[in-house]
Structures are given as C-alpha cells and as structure tokens.
Structure 1
Amino acid sequence: MNHPNSPAVLSVLVDRATAVPIGDQIHASLRQAIVEGRLLPGQRLPSGRDLAAQLGVARGTIRVAYDRLIAENLVFGAGSAGTHVCARLPVGRAGGEAALDGPLADFTRPFSSVPLPFQMGVPAHDAFPAKLWARMRTRAVRADAFAYTAYADPRGEPALRAQIASHLAVSRQMQCHPDQIIVTSGYRQGLMLALTALRAHGRKAWLEEPGYPLGRRALEVTGAEVVPVPIDAEGLRVEAGVASAPDALLALVTPGQHAPLGVTMSPARRRALLEWAATRGGWIIEDDYLGELQLDGRAAPALAAGEGAERVVHIGAFSKTISPALGLGFVVAPRAVAERLVEVCAVLAPAPNRTTQLAVTEFLRDGHYLRHLRQMKALYGERRRLTLAHVSEFLPGTLMAGLGVIAPLPQTADDRVVVGIARARGLAPSALSAWYLRRNHAQGGLLLSATNLRPDNIEAVCATLAGIVASSSRSPHESNGREGDVGASTF
C-alpha cells in the first residue's frame, strides 16, 4: 500500500482520436479511480506539472480536472502538501446510489464557521459593536439568573415584543399590537410556523422565480404544491400567478428587496397582490428580506402596513442586521390567524433563549439598533460600490443587487462548478441558477455579497475569483490542447 503522502501511480489514458475533450477524459478517469477505490482515501495525486508532463497536456488542463474533483468533494487541496483524495466520499458517489438533487446539494453544502468573502446573509462582523453587545449580554445573563423559574410565554418576552412593535412602526410603517408578534429563532422557524398555521399541506403556493431555495424547501416539506411565478423589474408578476394558479392558498414573496435580484415590488404590483389575496381569500407571507437595508433610496413600507394588511403574515429576522448566530426573528400575525399561530408555536417551537431576548430588547430600546442600521447602510453602500468596480473588470455586465452584485458568467462556464471550486478555495459565492425551480428557465451567474469585503482584502479575493472564472470558462481548444501552459499556479 502506498503511503498517503506518496503520489499515486496513475494509469490515465487519453484518446486524442475521440471527440470527447481531453480534459473531460482526464476528469472521468480520475473520478472512476477514486469511486472504485483504486485511489485510496488520503492518497496524494500527482502534481499538476508531473501529470501534465506524463500525458502531454497543458498544466491548465490538469488544473481544471482537479478543480472539478474538488467541486464534487472527491479530493481536497492542501496547499504545498498537494491534492489528496477525501477521507470520506460524498453520499451517492459510490454503489450506484443517486446523488442529491443539484440545487439541494448546493444549498445545504456547509459553510465555514467564520464569515467568508462573498457569503450571502452574513453582516459585517468587523463593524459590529461587539463590546457594547457583550455588556448587554452580561446584564441579560445576570437579570435572567435572578428571575423566577417558570415556563415562559411561547410568544416571547413581552418587553421584546413591545420593542419590536415600536420599531416596526418607525422603520416599516406597520401598526401592530405586541400580542400579534411571536418571537422566533429566525426566518426558518417563522416560515414553518406560518405554513403550519395556514394549513399549506396539499394547497398551491406561489413562489418567486427565481426565489429563495430555503423557502422552496419549506413549502415542499410542508406538502404544499409549489407554483413558480416569474419576476421582472417590478417584482412578482401577479397576473402570471393568477393565470397559473388562481386558487392558490398563499404567495411567498420578498417585496422590499427581492431575493436575490434586489428589485422592489412596484406600487401597482403591490396593489394587485393585495387585491388577489382579498378577493380570493388568499394569504401573503411577506419575507422582509433586506427590508431595513435598502441602500438605494428610502425603503418602501411593508406589505403588512396599511390597507390589506389583514391578509399578510410578516416575517422578519435579526440575522442580516445583527448576526445569524443570534438565532432571533419574529412573525407579525394578522388577527384572524394570530391565535392559531400561537397555538402552533406553543406546541412546536417555544421562544428562543431568554437572555438573548433581553439583550436585544435593550439594544432596541436604547436606540443602538437604529444607529447600527444607519452605519451599516453607509458601510455596505461603499463596499458594494468597490465590489462592483473590481468584479466588473473581469465580468462585464455585473449589476448591483441588494447588499452585493450579480455577475454574469461566460456561456462556457457553469455557475455551480465555479461556486464549488471557489468554496474549496475559501470563497463563498452563490450560484444564481440554484434559485430557479424550473431548470429550463434558469439563468446562470454569481451572487456576490459585499458585506464582508474590506479594502484590505477585496483586491485579493476578486483576483482569486477572476482566476477561477477564467479557468472554468476556457474553450475546449484552450483547456485541452497540448500547446502552452494555461495554468497560472502550481498544484
């Protein structure tokens, strides 16, 4: 048996008479050797230089093949130690088992425990008032320690619900009573509570196309029939939803800033959606995605503000404004379903940690939250501008969207492959195509958040991404030929 640190001796055959690109042949041969166990877990692959010389191809061809294996979680790069076979193969890679569905696999791929460049949904950790927050957490722990031991209200701490109601009146123009508010562990719990309370099982539900993959999965898990409704520059095309499923029970939408395209639903579309809900007895679940972080002008009021609010379930969270590690969000329930929602909450998911609730209560009450939001808007606006400038240099046509940019890819590049390679190199872009339910309607591209890009790292991470895109976008002639060295780095 070879020592794991000894390079494997490979028998990779290249047939230049076939129409199959040489790079594809090399990738398939290496993949088969791993799946069949001829390359053992931990075994080091030959360097790109050595294998390229052995096969008479450019090093860039080998690099692309290795990058594809990395994207499939079959091998991993270890810097100067080389490229090694993973210790455990992904589920479904051996024994003829079917692999996970592509979008699901993309979505559930674990992220690093630290914020990564381009990662969506993660606020700027370097700009958070950590010392102030630590003092509030300390006071909250002390207050909780001396409080009575009892079962808490499943809706959450009364003081926090009152502060959320006051904040929504100012920031989202919503008039709601604290009794209508249920504190949750975040958007996911809030959505599942709403779908359960509305009895979505077996009913049709409109979903934006493209739309948040987790929203789609939540609808599927609860047994709803997902009906994709296209998005344009004005937001959800309500007339298309009515044409496809006029009897739908609900519509799951992001009207403040569409996820991920960033468009705000126009007043006409808002009226049409609210009218549909009122006349058809439908429900609107408003995911207030980035509703408070509008970087382009004044934020539009929430759908749950004003006329028609009695058909809107509003879901908010503090994950993108404070921290996803906080695990805190809220649902604002219309009075018609508030009692049912509380019943579901009491049975399935009581309110989260009390000390966290107490700390957020103080953060809201003393004005720190609004001050933090103002600072973040200014910071994110500048970071988004820098990101657009850098990414546009190698991906023309890049556009601002939400807290980042959407970058189109060359036709020869697969956004999911690019994302897989980028993640293996410490970056966390998202594939636009994974946000589409209908594969034949999917558009490719990269979703690049600017929140964690700083002046001291933006140039380097954009250069890394540019290299990945370039290596993934070469024509078969460029990436599979023998002439020249198209790889800029060694293995």
Structure 2
Amino acid sequence: MPITKTILSDWSALVPVLPGEGPRTQALYDAIRQLIETGAVPPGAKLPPTRDLAARLHMSRLAAVAAFERLIADGFVTARVGAGTFVSDEVPLISVRLPADEPVARAAMPLPGTLGVATADERTLKIFRTLLSRHLARPSPEHFHYGDPKGGAALREAIASYLRTARGVRCQSGQVLVTTGTQQGLDLFVRSMLKPGEGAWIEDPCYPSARAAFEGNGIRLQGVPVDAEGLDPDLGITLMPDARAVYVTPSHQFPLGVAMTMRRRLALIEWARRNDAWIVEDDYDSEFRYAGPPLTAMQGLDASSRVVYLGTFSKVLLPGLRIGYAVLPDEVMAKVVALRVRTDRFPSTLAEAALTDFIREGHLAAHLRRARCHMAAARDALVAGLKGASGLTVTIPEQGLHLLAELGSSCKDTELVEVALAAGLGVRALSSMAVSQPPRQGLVIGFAGFSPEALFRAASAFRVALDQRSGS
C-alpha cells in the first residue's frame, strides 16, 4: 500500500489487529513503531487522528492517545498544534529480513484473493512482447518527439471504436483522452472542473482511491448509501442539495457489486442536466460479465453531455501497462488537456503503439474470451472454498473480478482480515470503505490473476480457521 502525506484511510492492512485483551497501548505503540522503523510509514507521513484509529481498531481513545504520547516522547513522531501528528523527519530504520530459504522475488507476490491483480495469461503476454519488439525493431518517428497530450490518434480511434461497439458509448476519437489509469483521469477532472470547497456525492461504501482524489483536492464529499438499485439521487439531493458532481460505478458498484437500475440512471442524468452538474462514471471492470452481455454504459444514455466516462486496461490486461482512458465532453476536454500539458505532457508512445496493434488485430477480443472463462472458473473455486464458512454470507457476482462476503453482526471485518492473511488469503475490510454512514461489515475478495486451485486452497484454509475460531 503506497503511503502519502495524507491520512491513511485503511490501517487494517498496516497495523496488526490488536489482541482482545492485554496492554492495548503497548501493542499499538509497538505496531506503529515497527512501521516507522521499517520505512513502511515514511518521514513526514501524517498519522490518523487518535479518535479515528481507536474506532477502526476497536480500542479506547485513551489507549490510543497514550500510545501516541509514548511515540512523541521517544522521538518517533511529532505533534503540530492544529495540524496533527507526523512521523519525525529523522528516525532510525531497520532492515526487514526474510527467512533464509525465502527467495527475494516472492516477498512481493500477492496472496490469492488480493484485489487489483492482472488477468493477462501467458499467451497474451507473448503476443504483447512480440508487438513491443516490432515497434522497437522498427521505431516510427512518433517515438522521437513529444506527442499529443490527448494520446496518439491511432490508439484513441481504436479505443473509441471499441467503446462504441462493446459498451454503447457515444464518442469519437477526439473525445478520448489516454491516461495512465482511471485515477489520473479522475484527478484531472476534479482539478479542472471543481473548486475547493464545492460538494460532491460518492457511493457509500466507495472505492477508496476515488474518495482520496476528491478529498485531496479540497472537495466536500457526501456519502450516499448504496442499496439494491445503486446510488439513490433523491437521497443525494436530501443529504447534499448543492453537489456539483457525483462519482458512481453503475455497472458493477465497488465494492458491493450491485448494478444501478435504469430508473436510477435516468434520474441521475436528469439531476445533472437540471443542475449543470457532472456525473463521473467509472466503468472499471465491465468487460467481465458472466451472464449475458455487458450492461450499456450510462454515458450512452446521456444526451446532455454531463457524463465523464472513465475506463482502464489495468483490469483487462495488467496494471503495469499503465494505460487508461477518459471520454470527455468538449467543455471538459479543453480544460483537462491544458492541465495535462502542465503536469504529464503526453502518454508513452511505445506502449500506445503496441496496444493499438493488440486491439486492431483482434488480440484484445480473443484475450477477453479466454479471460472471462478463466475468471468464471476462479470465481467458482473461491466460492467453493468459502462455502459453509462460519459467519460469512457470500454473494456470487455475475460481473467483475471480486466478490463480497458479508458478516454477521457479531463479527468485525478488521479482525477477520488478519485471520485471512494468516490462512494465506488476501482480503480487504468492507468497513474501511465507508464514507458517511455507519460502516457495514464484510470482506472484499478478488479472484483475478490466480489459479482456481490456489484460490480454493486459500479460501478453504480461511474457512477452517473461521470454523476453529467460532468453536473456540
């Protein structure tokens, strides 16, 4: 998990779950000190407020305050009046030693179930290597001078053609901006079209990185609860009537997995038209639908040009490719491109050229057919491994690359994160994705990038651990 100088939103992945009994202050002090000494939390990083940290770790605030006071006394952190608590600029660092028989390369391997892992198989990688070699062997002039800040014309045309056919998006190549992923597209939009202090709605629970993009640019966020029909615009109006934008994942809500109904989509578009507001549609994994064709994008329903459409090849191929796209109304495109020129200049022409050929020559369509079959088998293996697990209610998704396991009222998802990690299963706590409403308890588990066998083994080990925990 990258560390920035903002408050970390999910410390369940960094701070070990504290024991139910014993010296809570000492345990928290030791955990944070270890993160600082190993460099996991770098100098200058801002620690969460003691109130938030105590709530996430289910401990008293007094215990959290006592731990922070010890860290301050020992010189690991400093308190700044009115600003918060920060890691000191100079702290001793210690190296993290791996077991003697543990290869260094394996230290970074994600556990089965970890979100955001690639779908590309060996056949796809081989084809992409060939395409890259082709352009390196006979490089075109475009690689030797500064390019178009929108991205190369050939790739933008290939993306526009693909979106018109596969997603029902209404666009031409001139409306497409090539980005380094949806996060950059979202950040460029927020910085270009919204002013600090303005309000926006976001789904609750939400995609944490989207929340960071808004809050990091000074936008007031209002979480709007997601139900079986998706985000409710009428409720959003009640909670924040002056919102200037809304961020949604309507085809497959992250993290709950529901699809926004047509009546809600049309109501949201009408709200945006009537209020001169913006809809940011993040269509992050729509290619992976296992029952029928993908749902039509909301952007294709919008006749008033109020929808900003974001997509990525990170889920379709691999995150390391670092190519995404945004389909932007003309008013938005002009401002976004002006900002892009100042900050990022233009995308990688070499990666663009290989991806353009990959799409045009039919490799992307073939890859998606193979990947959907593999993802369906991986999903089913994960579900089979979790079947009957004590305290879990698993929703089997018809789309996407993750599933949700909801918990009973007596369970805390942040505690089960550590149980899962010990069993070899990578999960995220649903409660860490809450915005304004009381957090729901659940586990978000991915199944992309892992073999069905590995997922079944890890899920089965987690199920056994849960059963043992329940019986103890």
- TM bracket, shorter-chain basis: 0.7 to 0.9
Which secondary structure state, in structure 2, belongs to the residue aligned with residue 316 of structure 1?
strand
User: What displacement does 1:146 show?
Assistant: 5.7
1:216 partnered with 2:211:
yes
Aligned residue among 406, 409, 421 for 2:407 = 409
User: How far does the alpha carbon of each residue in 1:46-104 deviate from its partner, in whole angstroms, 9 at most, with x for none?
Assistant: xxxxxxxxxxxxxxxxxxxxxxxxx99xxxxxxxxxxxxxxxxx999823758999xxx
Aligned residue among 423, 429, 432 for 1:431 = 429
Aligned AA for 2:413? D
The residue number in structure 1 matching 2:346 is 351
Which secondary structure state, in structure 1, belongs to the residue aligned with residue 139 of structure 2?
helix
| Cα pair distance change 1:198/1:456, threshold 3 Å | same
1:187 partnered with 2:182:
yes
Distance in 2 (CA, whole Å) between partners of 1:354 and 1:404 is 32
Aligned AA for 2:462? L
The residue number in structure 2 matching 1:158 is 153
Provide the aligned C-alpha RMSD in A.
3.1
Q: Assess if the C-alpha contact under 8 Å between 1:413 and 1:469 holds in 2.
A: no
Aligned AA for 2:116? G
| Cα pair distance change 1:222/1:166, threshold 3 Å | same
Which secondary structure state, in structure 1, belongs to the residue aligned with residue 191 of structure 2?
helix
Q: Assess if the C-alpha contact under 8 Å between 1:165 and 1:177 holds in 2.
A: yes
Which has the bigger relative contact order, CA under 8 A and spacing at least 6? 1
Counterparts of residues 69-218 of structure 1 (less than 5 Å):
94-95=71-72, 113-126=108-121, 129-144=124-139, 147=142, 149-218=144-213
Aligned residue among 290, 293, 297 for 1:302 = 297
| Cα pair distance change 1:248/1:427, threshold 3 Å | same
The residue number in structure 2 matching 1:397 is 393
The residue number in structure 2 matching 1:444 is 441
Distance in 2 (CA, whole Å) between partners of 1:364 and 1:346 is 26
Structure 1 unaligned spans of 5+: 1-21, 43-70, 73-89, 102-110, 479-491
The residue number in structure 2 matching 1:107 is none
1:455 partnered with 2:432:
no
Distance in 2 (CA, whole Å) between partners of 1:409 and 1:280 is 39
1:342 partnered with 2:337:
yes
User: What displacement does 1:450 show?
Assistant: 1.8
Aligned residue among 280, 286, 307 for 1:285 = 280
Could you tell me the percent identity over the aligned residues? 30
The residue number in structure 2 matching 1:257 is 252
User: What displacement does 1:330 show?
Assistant: 0.8
Aligned AA for 2:446? S
Distance in 1 (CA, whole Å) between partners of 2:262 and 2:408 is 35
Q: Which moved more, 1:458-467 or 1:248-257?
A: 458-467
| Cα pair distance change 1:300/1:36, threshold 3 Å | closer
The residue number in structure 2 matching 1:266 is 261
User: How far does the alpha carbon of each residue in 1:249-268 deviate from its partner, in whole angstroms, 9 at most, with x for none?
Assistant: 10000011111111111110
The residue number in structure 2 matching 1:62 is none
User: What displacement does 1:454 show?
Assistant: 2.1
Distance in 2 (CA, whole Å) between partners of 1:266 and 1:387 is 28
Distance in 2 (CA, whole Å) between partners of 1:139 and 1:130 is 14
Which secondary structure state, in structure 2, belongs to the residue aligned with residue 305 of structure 1?
helix
Q: Assess if the C-alpha contact under 8 Å between 1:160 and 1:360 holds in 2.
A: yes
Distance in 2 (CA, whole Å) between partners of 1:172 and 1:35 is 46
User: How far does the alpha carbon of each residue in 1:228-257 deviate from its partner, in whole angstroms, 9 at most, with x for none?
Assistant: 111111111111011112221100000111
Q: Which moved more, 1:242-251 or 1:119-128?
A: 119-128
Q: Assess if the C-alpha contact under 8 Å between 2:419 and 2:462 holds in 1.
A: no
Which secondary structure state, in structure 2, belongs to the residue aligned with residue 394 of structure 1?
coil
Q: Assess if the C-alpha contact under 8 Å between 2:287 and 2:294 holds in 1.
A: yes
| Cα pair distance change 1:249/1:29, threshold 3 Å | closer
Distance in 2 (CA, whole Å) between partners of 1:466 and 1:194 is 43
User: How far does the alpha carbon of each residue in 1:312-361 deviate from its partner, in whole angstroms, 9 at most, with x for none?
Assistant: 11111100000011111011111222211111111122332211111110
Which secondary structure state, in structure 1, belongs to the residue aligned with residue 305 of structure 2?
helix
Distance in 1 (CA, whole Å) between partners of 2:287 and 2:85 is 35
| Cα pair distance change 1:417/1:309, threshold 3 Å | farther
1:317 partnered with 2:312:
yes
| Cα pair distance change 1:147/1:93, threshold 3 Å | farther
Q: Assess if the C-alpha contact under 8 Å between 2:431 and 2:441 holds in 1.
A: yes
Distance in 2 (CA, whole Å) between partners of 1:418 and 1:472 is 10
User: What displacement does 1:166 show?
Assistant: 0.6
Structure 2 unaligned spans of 5+: 1-17, 39-55, 58-66, 87-105
Number of residues of Structure 1 aligned to a counterpart in Structure 2: 396
Q: Assess if the C-alpha contact under 8 Å between 1:207 and 1:252 holds in 2.
A: yes
Which secondary structure state, in structure 2, belongs to the residue aligned with residue 156 of structure 1?
coil
Runs of 4+ residues deviating >4 angstroms: 32-37, 90-93, 96-101, 125-128, 145-148, 470-474
Q: Which moved more, 1:399-408 or 1:324-333?
A: 399-408
Q: Assess if the C-alpha contact under 8 Å between 1:432 and 1:443 holds in 2.
A: yes
The residue number in structure 1 matching 2:376 is 381
User: How far does the alpha carbon of each residue in 1:290-327 deviate from its partner, in whole angstroms, 9 at most, with x for none?
Assistant: 12222232222111114335001111110000001111
Aligned residue among 320, 334, 359 for 1:364 = 359
User: How far does the alpha carbon of each residue in 1:127-172 deviate from its partner, in whole angstroms, 9 at most, with x for none?
Assistant: 6521111101111223437656321111111110110011111111
Q: Assess if the C-alpha contact under 8 Å between 2:120 and 2:371 holds in 1.
A: no
The residue number in structure 1 matching 2:49 is none
The residue number in structure 1 matching 2:6 is none
User: What displacement does 1:272 show?
Assistant: 0.0
Q: Assess if the C-alpha contact under 8 Å between 1:418 and 1:472 holds in 2.
A: no
Which secondary structure state, in structure 1, belongs to the residue aligned with residue 448 of structure 2?
coil
Which secondary structure state, in structure 2, belongs to the residue aligned with residue 310 of structure 1?
coil
Rg bigger for which structure? 1
Aligned AA for 2:318? S
Distance in 2 (CA, whole Å) between partners of 1:244 and 1:335 is 30
Distance in 2 (CA, whole Å) between partners of 1:119 and 1:143 is 38
